[in-house]
Structure 1
Amino acid sequence: MNRVKATLLVGPAVLALALSGCSGAGGAPDPVGQGTGAANTSQPQAAAPPTEVSTPAPEGGAAVRLGDTEEAITTVGCTEINDTWTVSGSNEGGAKAAVTTSQDRQTVIEASVVLADGKIGTMKEGEGTATIGWEGETFTVSGTGTFLDLGSGKTESTEQIGFLITGTCAA
């Protein structure tokens, strides 16, 4: 009988103790992370993609912008291969640009800008975003991607940078 009385008294006591942690001014801690609407400062924030490049693209070439730096790409080649459309080019100073899209040329799969000073912006599936627009034969790819400065000695980065590539393919 004593065992029954002890069980009957302990059960409600444990329940009351458990419920006391959920009530009062202390309550649950303030929410952090998802659902608060606040930026997570431990994660890099994407830079806004640029909307224009002031450097003129040479005929049959391209112009690129990575962050605030612009360069003209003098030689550009375009091709369709394996259900994708690809454009790539370079200049004598060492700057390079490349874009791979879907075969219909409407979805960017990968894009990269490499400046002569070793600064690189790369967008690929799961790492950044990019869109492509067309005005006649002229394409413009605008997006954000992972930034890497080879001059800094780093080989990895989570920093994001905006880029823009605009040009035409030589006939």
Structure 2
Amino acid sequence: MSVRHATLADVPAIYRLIAYYAQRGVLLRREREEIRGNIGNFLVHSDGPRVVGCISLESYGTELSEIRSIAVAPEIIGRGIGSGLLESALAEARRREIARVFAVTDVPQLFLRSGFTAVSRQLLTEKIDRDCRKCPQRSSCKLTAVIATVHPQHLVLPVLAGSSIRNLLR
């Protein structure tokens, strides 16, 4: 088993993994075209030819990215695949020299073990504007927002009035 950058050939498997959890209200649904158009943001965990996990690292500029769509095949949960995907995504964020990474998750303990800190979802206005407004669970959301500094020497953000994420990062 290994983690690698996703290719277009992985789109059907990534779609199935995300759809499984989206149907259960755990992840936001993502269409095949959206996955295909963002394939460069995905890492996959493969067991031979089979993709058994995925994670996406989506940019909010040069200093901030979001961990999205972390999914592991349900029959192999508990084997460290999610942790491995998260560590690989954090390594990719460091490679890209991204200062901070955040996630909105139903498994905060996975992120907290990797050095993330829980924060109020309301501080993530860009995330709310981009994704939460279209989520069917938005009025009863039980997800936890987490954030971590992965490349502190790149924290050179200007203070922008009205930008909660940027204010949080100061």
Question: Hey, which of these two has a bigger chunk of strand by percent?
Answer: 1
TM-score range normalised by the length of the shorter chain: under 0.3
Question: Hey, which of these two has a bigger chunk of helix by percent?
Answer: 2
Point out which structure has higher relative CO (alpha carbons under 8 A, 6+ apart). Answer: 1
The structure with more radius of gyration: 1
